[in-house]
């Protein structure tokens, strides 16, 4: 029988995402309600190795559900990718009496959680990233807020783009994944969505479509560009030179990572946090929780990391039909 869980810790790792605070709050309050002791590990695995560990009571997470970022801070930690670093991390957990850890982050953070689990520390991973690029889940904490933030920015750019009858290229985040670009593209009625997964680098085809649509009377041309596709500034120069339509590029950048989480991010983050504690209390370890086809599910970490997912071809095609 697995050892009884008395102390649960929570950490955030990798890029921050709106909703992480709601998730931390849920972990802390669910564990406290079950009569457990809770600790916060600050600055992800880096903080674990530096023993930056604090006690968390119900008050420690009051007034944070509405806040972006993460009150536990986050970091990327090279040392923890080594077997020595992982061994040290597990020993520190034992020193602080930590029986289980909830890791909120992305695939890299789950790899770390898997290593800790193999060393006898119970771990549960929760998907937290604006990129929505975690294969075992349809939804990641922070994605909804990031899309809404980017959508509002694109709306504003569209106002000025239309007034000046310009083409606007707007670069959104997502690392190698085009989920933010795809969702904003549809939400903003963009004429083009360029993602690393689907763009064939055929700028000439875009130039031709712009010329055709200009001739039809279109006053603006919005191109949503996922950050991994290529240089938006360079693309703008080529498009302007070849179409004669003034073209501007805007890189939205880290504005997409901040801000107060949407209701969706707060609610799902709260559910994820509570479910992670429930799993730990059931004696489960080495699991990642996802939300798929309308329900919460959990997978072995290695199994989750092997999964793949791709942009919905129907949504991509939809945009071609609606945006042009
Ligand atoms: P994300 O969790 O968003 O994918 P990273 O890839 O930066 O972000 O990973 C976050 C942290 O997780 C890393 O800085 C590192 O400390 C830890 N990590 C990543 N990969 C591994 C690995 N293979 N083994 C152990 N820890 C890892
Ligand atoms: O993973 C979240 C993310 O914002 C990606 O979309 C982006 O590529 C990356 O992190 C930026 O990382 P940093 O904040 O280290 O510049």
Indicate if ligand 2 lies below 6 Å from the C-beta of 175.
yes
**Cβ 125 under 6 angstroms from ligand 2:** no
pLDDT for position 230: 85
What is the rounded average pLDDT of the residues 291-306? 98
Strands in 167-172's sheet, in edge-to-edge order, are: 192-194, 221-226, 167-172, 247-251
**What pLDDT is recorded for position 269?**
98
- Could you tell me which residues come within 8 angstroms of residue 261 by beta carbon, excluding any fewer than 6 positions away? 18, 19, 21, 22, 66, 68, 142, 144, 145, 269
pLDDT above 90 covers a percentage of the chain that reads 95
Lowest mean pLDDT of 132-136, 182-186, 217-221, 255-259, name the range.
Answer: 217-221
Residue range 205-213: mean pLDDT, rounded: 95
Q: Whose CA is nearest to atom 6 of ligand 2?
A: 174
Mutational test site, ligand 1, from 50, 79, 101, 111, max ligand atoms within 8 Å of CB: 111
Per-residue pLDDT at 195: 96
Region 278-286: mean pLDDT is: 97
Domains present along the chain, CATH in parentheses: 7-142+261-306 (3.40.50.450), 146-257 (3.40.50.460)
Whether residue 299 is predicted with pLDDT greater than 70 in this model: the reply is yes
Task: Flag the least confident range among 217-226, 247-256, 299-308.
Answer: 217-226
Cα of 165 from ligand 1 centre, angstroms: 44
Q: What pLDDT is attached to residue 323?
A: 83
Q: Give the other-Cβ count within 10 Å of 74's Cβ.
A: 24
4 vs 289: which has the higher pLDDT: 289
pLDDT of residue 324: 76
The pLDDT value given to residue 1: 43
Residue 155: the pLDDT is: 98
| pLDDT at residue 2 in the model | 61
Q: Whose alpha carbon is nearest atom 27 of ligand 1?
A: 112
What tens digit of pLDDT does each residue of 20-51 get? 999 999 999 999 999 999 999 999 999 999 99
Note the pTM of the prediction, 2 decimals.
0.96
CA angle 149, 155, 158 (to 5 degrees): 140
Ligand index nearest the alpha carbon of residue 256: 2
Say yes or no: CB of residue 247 within 6 Å of ligand 2: no
Over the chain, what is the mean pLDDT?
A: 96
Which ligand neighbours the alpha carbon of 253 most closely? 2
194's enclosing H/E stretch is strand 192-194
- Contact by Cβ (8 Å): 42, 291: no
The reply to whether 55 belongs to the active site is no
The average pLDDT across 128-157 equals 98
CA atoms within 13 A on the CB side of 226: 24
């Amino acid at each position: 029988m697995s050892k009884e869980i008395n102390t649960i810790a929570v950490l955030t790792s990798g890029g921050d995402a709106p909703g992480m605070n709601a998730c931390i709050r849920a972990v802390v309050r669910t564990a406290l309600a079950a009569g457990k002791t809770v600790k916060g590990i600050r600055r992800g695995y880096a903080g674990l190795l530096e023993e930056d560990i604090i006690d968390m009571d119900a008050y420690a997470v009051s007034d944070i559900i509405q806040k972006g970022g993460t009150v536990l801070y986050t970091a990327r930690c090279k040392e923890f990718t080594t077997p020595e670093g992982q061994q040290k991390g597990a020993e520190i957990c034992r020193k602080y009496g930590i029986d289980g850890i909830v890791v909120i982050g992305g695939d890299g953070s789950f790899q770390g959680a898997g290593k800790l689990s193999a060393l006898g520390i119970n771990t549960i991973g929760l998907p937290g990233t604006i990129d929505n690029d975690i294969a075992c889940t349809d939804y990641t904490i922070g994605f909804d807020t990031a899309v809404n933030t980017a959508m509002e920015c694109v709306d504003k750019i569209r106002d000025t783009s239309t007034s000046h009858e310009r083409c606007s290229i707007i670069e959104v985040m997502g690392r190698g994944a085009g989920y933010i670009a795809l969702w904003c593209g549809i939400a903003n009625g963009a004429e083009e969505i360029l993602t690393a997964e689907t763009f064939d680098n055929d700028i000439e085809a875009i130039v031709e479509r712009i010329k055709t649509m200009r001739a039809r009377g279109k006053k603006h041309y919005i191109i949503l560009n996922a950050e991994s596709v290529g240089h938006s500034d360079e693309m703008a120069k080529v498009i302007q030179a070849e179409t004669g339509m003034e073209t501007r590029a805007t890189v939205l950048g880290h504005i997409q990572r901040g801000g107060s989480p949407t209701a969706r991010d707060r609610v799902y983050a709260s559910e994820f946090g509570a479910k992670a504690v429930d799993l730990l209390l059931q004696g489960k370890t080495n699991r990642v929780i996802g939300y798929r086809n309308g329900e919460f599910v959990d997978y072995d970490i290695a199994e989750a990391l092997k999964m793949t997912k791709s942009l919905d071809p129907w949504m991509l095609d939809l945009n071609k039909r609606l945006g042009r």
